[in-house]
């Protein structure tokens, strides 16, 4: 009897303990959120768990990019509430769960038309999202972005820098591949100013990919910048308009329209404007062997009238098949008046003084057309097949006239004329397949074929008594043809805590160049493999780690290979190198993402090893500085980058970005050693202050340290931007005032000093004022809001 009683007591104790244990065990709740009409997923929707009796919130989360969410709770008497701006809130009660798992399946949200008509645009600073293999920087809500071109927007993105020449670098390194909507584009070419035709209000977001997976084109040793343009898909007629004006002249009008029906989504964007970009330059070239010095200074103007039209349509064949046809036409008219003053000294005694004026006119038409077909499979909306065919052309016809006028002495330079006819045609064909085999495992495969066909016909003429005479040694037609075939495959696992993505890409390159009048030909053909690996681990809700590796390539462009140079300044010229080889890099990166109270921060430690490094090396002969790209050895770079956001108060937010790196370069050329080490760092901090009456103030400060190159010492600089915003008409309209380079302190200075020569250059653009107005109608939003779902 005692034995039975003891066993019964033990059983009851274990039963009570087990019951208490099961009651305290967490319940895992997951599901997917979709738009009831379009059937598309809704990212960033709010999911809240609340107590049925007290209505107290017990926990919450937001859906991810795929509209999916996963949240846990140890409560038993609760309900789930799903909400998103512009949609009716869904409240889910009487929930049944088994084995502590609650699968809510697909939750559909219906549009709330009354709410959409009264929604206010919330003025927030841009933010950065972290994904397994990239960072996504949302654009369009910063005050100081008023009237900006795409190049100026890029200069506000963490990790990215755009110098005064318009050259883009990532973490201090050139060799950046710039894409538009994930594809190569003539608009993204760094050889010209095509990105200037895209304004900030056309951009949805910019993806910063420092370690791209094998899915991406392997071009760009520093990484990839992918500019995502806006395309609204809200039902009905939606649109917005923006007006901008500024000093120096910077005037533009932007219109965005979208019409969504059951089968069609028609979209268009139009940008028209005029801008004047003055730049003051100084140069000193000293030949120590004969004790002569050339000093020059002057202001160059780049005046541009631009027009940009994007027009396209999505045809929803059925629920699983969409056909998209789009076109982009851009046109620029350039006028570049300038005057440069020259002085020639021998043993510090002035020998000659003259000035050189330039009158340049150029027309730049650009076309781009694209056909996309996307197929979704019934088993999973992430199971897709995407085919795209893209064609583009860019032409630039330029004529320049240079006149030299003597002031003191007799100048031996002739008056000159130049003419250039540049044509570029590109074709890109892509096929991408994505299959989520399970909820956690996804495979990707695809191929891409890229054709670049470029020609540059350049002619220089001397004017003798007003009669033009062609200089044969400076005149030629350079033709460049490149074909790249790429094939890739990746596989990824993404669990609640841990994720990994592995991939490999094979690319075959076939490059041919020819100088037609001398019949000098150059041919290169090579096949390379580009592996990639990324992994992430979520330690807890506040701390995550990411680790990545990729191999990249930088292929020389036409301007790197063309041996003919522009004679805009006879004493500072640039030319290409037809024998230039591609450079390769291996990139490693470890990133920690963490949240501390009201602050969020991420820290990245990165290392990059580059072979056949391309460097621009100059020589000085008779006071003429000639710069040419060369393959100079190897480079090892080690760096650390920190990005953070802190909001101590609802009306005050700080954003910061800091990047430091050290490098070790080793190489030789023509018996000259180019071994050297150096460090550089840059930082950016911005603060946003919310005031009464819907007024916001934003201040951004930037600093770049001095650093060494192969032959130069580059000075540091600091500059600040200021912006003020006022919302009117219940947030449907916004007025912006921006001042860029508030103190006119963004100055580039380069200095080189050796046994034979001394060279110094100085460049400054100055202060810019901008005033902007934007208005959203229908269900559209004022253009200070990025236009995407939030």
Q: How is the chain split into domains, by residue range?
A: 25-112, 236-777
Angle 473-761-667 from CA coordinates, rounded to 5°: 70
**Residue matched to tokens 């350049």:** 458
- How high is the pLDDT of residue 14? 41
Hey, CA dihedral for 215, 216, 221, 223, is it positive or negative? negative
CATH number assigned to the domain covering 236-777: 2.40.170.20
- Spatial neighbors of 11 by CB under 8 A, at least 6 apart, are none
- How high is the pLDDT of residue 183? 65
The rounded distance, in Å, linking the Cα atoms of 510 and 561 is 15
Regions of the chain with pLDDT less than 70: 1-25, 37-38, 65, 85-86, 98-99, 112-133, 139-152, 155-156, 158, 161-167, 172-175, 183-202, 221, 230-236, 260, 411-414, 564-570, 731, 778-790
The rounded distance, in Å, linking the Cα atoms of 515 and 577 is 12
Strands 634-649 and 599-611: antiparallel
The rounded distance, in Å, linking the Cα atoms of 327 and 184 is 14
* Alpha-carbon distances of 139 from 149, 163, 783, 788, rounded to whole Å: 12, 20, 10, 10
The rounded distance, in Å, linking the Cα atoms of 400 and 521 is 29
Entry field: residues in the chain:
790
Report the DSSP beta bridge partners of residue 544: 538, 593
The rounded distance, in Å, linking the Cα atoms of 151 and 128 is 18
The rounded distance, in Å, linking the Cα atoms of 740 and 182 is 30
- How high is the pLDDT of residue 785? 27
- What burial letters (b/e) apply to 285-302, b meaning 16+ CB within 10 Å? bbbeeeebbbbbebebbb
The rounded distance, in Å, linking the Cα atoms of 478 and 476 is 6
- Spatial neighbors of 246 by CB under 8 A, at least 6 apart, are 147, 768, 769, 770, 771
Distance of CA 247 to the CA centre of its chain: 26
- How high is the pLDDT of residue 783? 40
The rounded distance, in Å, linking the Cα atoms of 171 and 585 is 14
Looking at domain 25-112, does it have CATH number 2.60.40.10? yes
- How high is the pLDDT of residue 151? 66
Q: pLDDT tens, 99-112? A: 678 888 889 888 76
- Spatial neighbors of 330 by CB under 8 A, at least 6 apart, are 187, 194, 197, 306, 307, 308, 309, 364, 365, 366
The rounded distance, in Å, linking the Cα atoms of 255 and 241 is 4
State the first-to-last Cα distance of the chain, in angstroms, to the nearest integer: 69
Give the chain's largest Cα–Cα span.
130
**Residue matched to tokens 């969410």:** 69
Same fold, 25-112 and 236-777: no
Hey, CA dihedral for 510, 420, 574, 716, is it positive or negative? negative
- Spatial neighbors of 747 by CB under 8 A, at least 6 apart, are 715, 717, 762, 763, 764
The rounded distance, in Å, linking the Cα atoms of 190 and 682 is 22
């Amino acid at each position: 009897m005692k034995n039975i009683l003891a066993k019964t007591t033990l059983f009851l104790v274990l039963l009570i303990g087990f019951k208490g244990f099961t009651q305290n065990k967490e319940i895992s709740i997951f599901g997917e959120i979709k738009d009831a009409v379009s059937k598309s997923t809704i990212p960033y929707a709010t999911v809240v768990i609340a107590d049925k009796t007290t209505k107290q919130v017990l926990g919450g989360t937001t859906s991810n990019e795929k509209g999916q969410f996963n949240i846990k709770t140890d409560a038993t008497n609760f309900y789930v509430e799903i909400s998103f701006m512009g949609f009716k809130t869904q409240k889910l009660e009487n929930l049944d769960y088994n084995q502590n798992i609650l699968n809510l399946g697909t939750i559909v949200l219906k549009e709330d038309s009354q709410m959409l008509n009264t929604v206010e645009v919330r003025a927030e600073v841009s933010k950065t999202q972290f994904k397994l293999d990239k960072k996504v920087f949302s654009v369009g809500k910063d005050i100081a972005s008023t009237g900006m071109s795409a190049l100026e927007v890029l200069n506000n993105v963490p990790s990215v820098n755009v110098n005064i020449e318009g050259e883009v670098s990532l973490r201090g390194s050139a060799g950046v591949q710039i894409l538009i909507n994930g594809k190569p584009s003539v608009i993204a070419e760094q050889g010209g100013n095509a990105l200037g035709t895209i304004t900030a209000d056309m951009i949805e977001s910019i993806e910063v990919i420092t370690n791209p997976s094998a899915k991406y084109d392997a071009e760009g040793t520093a990484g990839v910048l992918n500019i995502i343009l806006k395309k609204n898909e809200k039902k009905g007629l939606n649109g917005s308009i923006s007006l901008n004006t500024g000093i120096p002249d910077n005037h533009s009008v932007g219109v965005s329209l979208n019409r969504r029906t059951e089968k069609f989504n028609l979209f268009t964007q139009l940008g028209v404007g005029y801008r004047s970009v003055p730049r003051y330059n100084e140069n000193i070239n000293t030949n120590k062997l004969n004790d002569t010095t050339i000093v020059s200074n002057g202001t160059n103007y780049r005046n541009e009238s631009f027009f940009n039209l994007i027009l396209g349509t999505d045809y929803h064949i059925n629920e699983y098949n969409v056909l998209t046809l789009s076109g982009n036409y851009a046109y620029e008219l350039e006028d570049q008046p300038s005057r440069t003053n020259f002085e020639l000294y021998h043993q510090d005694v002035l020998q000659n003084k003259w000035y050189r004026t330039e009158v340049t006119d150029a027309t730049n038409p650009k076309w781009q057309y694209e056909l996309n077909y996307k197929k979704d499979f019934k088993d999973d909306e992430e199971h897709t097949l995407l085919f795209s065919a893209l064609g583009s052309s860019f032409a630039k016809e330029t004529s320049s006239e240079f006149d030299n006028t003597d002031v003191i002495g007799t100048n031996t330079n002739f008056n000159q004329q130049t003419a250039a006819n540049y044509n570029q045609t590109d074709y890109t064909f892509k096929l991408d397949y994505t299959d989520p085999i399970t909820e956690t495992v996804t495979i990707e495969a695809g191929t891409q074929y890229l054709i670049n066909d470029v020609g540059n016909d350049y002619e220089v003429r001397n004017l003798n008594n007003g009669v033009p005479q062609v200089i044969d040694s400076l005149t030629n037609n350079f033709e460049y043809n490149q074909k790249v075939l790429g094939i890739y495959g990746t596989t990824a696992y993404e669990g609640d805590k841990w994720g990994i993505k592995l991939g490999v890409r094979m690319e075959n390159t076939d490059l041919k160049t020819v100088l037609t009048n001398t019949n000098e030909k150059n041919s290169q053909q090579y096949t390379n493999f580009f592996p990639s690996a990324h992994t992430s681990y979520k330690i807890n809700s506040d701390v995550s780690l990411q680790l990545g590796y990729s191999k990249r390539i930088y292929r020389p462009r036409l301007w790197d290979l063309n041996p003919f140079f522009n004679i805009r300044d006879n004493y500072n010229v640039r030319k290409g190198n037809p024998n230039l080889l591609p450079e390769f890099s291996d990139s490693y990166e470890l990133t920690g993402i963490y949240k501390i109270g009201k602050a969020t921060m991420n820290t990245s430690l990165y290392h990059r090893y580059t072979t056949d490094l391309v460097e621009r090396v100059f020589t000085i002969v008779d006071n003429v500085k000639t710069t040419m790209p060369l393959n100079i050895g190897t480079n090892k770079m080690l760096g650390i980058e920190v990005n953070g956001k802190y909001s101590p108060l609802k009306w005050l937010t700080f954003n910061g970005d800091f990047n430091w790196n050290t490098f070790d370069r080793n190489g030789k050329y023509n018996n000259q050693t180019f071994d050297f080490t150096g460090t550089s760092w840059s930082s950016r901090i911005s603060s946003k202050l919310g005031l009464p009456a819907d007024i916001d103030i934003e201040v951004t400060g930037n600093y770049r340290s001095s650093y060494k190159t192969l032959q130069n010492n580059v000075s540091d600089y600091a500059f600040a931007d200021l912006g003020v915003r006022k919302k009117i008409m219940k947030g449907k309209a916004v007025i912006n005032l921006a001042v860029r380079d508030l103190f006119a302190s963004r100055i580039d200075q380069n200095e080189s000093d050796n046994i034979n020569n001394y060279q110094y250059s100085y460049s400054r653009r100055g202060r810019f004022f901008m005033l902007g107005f934007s208005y959203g109608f229908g269900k559209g939003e004022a253009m200070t809001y990025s236009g995407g779902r939030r």
